[in-house]
Amino acid sequence: MASLDHILCLLPLLFIIIVISSSHVLPASATPSHKRKSAITIRKVNRRGPYIGLVTVFETEEDAFLGSVDFRPDPTHPFMDLSGRRFRIGKIHGKKVVYVRCGIGLVNAAAATQQMIDVFNIKGIVHFGIAGNINNSMSIGDVSIPKQITNAGLWDWLNPEKAKGDGDAAYLDVKNYNVPQGDGNNNLLGSIGYSYEELYSITGQTNSPKKVFWINTTQEWLHLAAGLEKMELLQCVNATLCLPEKPKLVVGLKAATANIFVDNAAYRNFLYDTFGVSSSDMESSAVAMTCVSNGYPIIVIRGLSDIAGAQTGDNAVRKFGSLAATNTARAVLEFIKKLPPNYNHDSYVMNV
């Protein structure tokens, strides 16, 4: 046991250690000044709401949108930068909007959508961008406003030695794509099971997610969008590059989302034959599921930029991506015009 004299000798050193350590600990209530400033600005912005939330994905879509619509920035707070993203605040045709470019992929889409819902006084979200065409009755330049969206990238990669059960919504058997076709009964890659999402929502029981394969967009907004089916869409990128037919807008199809850019004819056919989807993108199901989870209306508007691998040669997204994005932006503008000025999301019931 240490002597009393030894302990007394150590006391000054212990005091110094405690003082130095405590000087590096921030009070629990301390808030960085930039966060306090942001909170004050957010309160001021939200007093002027509610807003329609607009979420697109990448630069081509943003350029087409801001170049096609009469976006009037808020004179006092034209934008807020949060978590590396710029949220633009303003009006389109007299309707108050908050716009953000989320970035490519499911995680970016969900994160930006949840942040918009949490931070701003939002009454519903319009998600838009370009997509690959999976349906042979549709064409490049067309615009699809789907009624249902699935996450076709939530996979169970199954052991080839085990029989498929009933835990997945559909299966892709890799051996069906052996070349020559059907050559051999076995393939070490086995099969892929398309799994269900777990949907947590304000309308469900706490910590008891519902298994869903399809996320429904808001029925009332689809009815409004049905009035857009005769709208005029652009046919030409420029004077020398035009589509063979006039593009059309179709409401009520199905869409697939995954963190996969589809440029493969065989997989394109599988998606259409198995799920009946007409378009494929990388964000829509994440935006839709986040909105449904929080009880907010959602509509998805996607312009078809390519035929997802069914072409001969290079993918057409580089040639027609800007045209598809412009047609999408036009559809978004016309939909915003149709929204009633006194719209209140609380009066709508979200369907799953």
Q: How many other CB atoms sit within 10 Å of the CB of residue 281?
A: 28
Vertex 132 angle, CA 234 and 255, to 5°: 105
Instruction: State the Cα–Cα distance between residues 16 and 38, nearest whole angstrom.
Output: 38
Residue-wise pLDDT tens digits, 182-219: 666 678 888 999 999 999 999 999 999 999 999 999 99
Sequence-ordered list of residues with C-beta below 8 angstroms from that of 98, at least 6 positions apart, any chain: 51, 52, 53, 54, 87, 88, 89, 116, 120, 122
d(CA 196, CA 94): 40
CA atoms in the 13 A half-sphere facing the CB of 64: 27
Cα-Cα-Cα-Cα torsion 341, 90, 298, 281, nearest 10 degrees, comes to 150
pLDDT in tens, 50-86: 999 999 999 999 999 999 899 999 999 999 999 999 9
Query: Following CA atoms 104, 105, 111, 112 in sequence, which dihedral angle do they give, to the nearest 10 degrees?
Result: 30
CA distance 210 to 218: 18
Q: Would you give the DSSP letter of residue 134?
A: -
- In this structure, the strands spanning 298-306 and 143-145 are antiparallel
Per residue in 136-160, pLDDT (tens digit) is 999 999 999 999 999 999 999 998 8
Q: Tell me the two tokens of residue 332.
A: 């978004």
pTM of the entire predicted model: 0.87
- Whole-number Å distance between alpha carbons of 220 and 11: 73
pLDDT in tens, 263-317: 999 999 999 999 999 999 999 999 999 999 999 999 999 999 999 999 999 999 9
How is residue 351 annotated by DSSP?
P
Residue with tokens 């304000």: 202
For residue 195, the Cα-to-chain-centroid distance in whole angstroms is 19
Angle (CA) 87 93 94, round 5°: 80
Closest CA to 54 of 122, 107, 111: 122
**Percentage, residues of the chain above pLDDT 90:** 76
> What are the pLDDT digits (tens) for 37-58?
789 999 999 999 999 999 999 9
State the residue for tokens 């939909």. Answer: 335
Spatial neighbors of 95 by CB under 8 A, at least 6 apart, are 52, 336, 337, 339, 341
Helix (H) or strand (E) run with residue 90 in it: strand 85-92
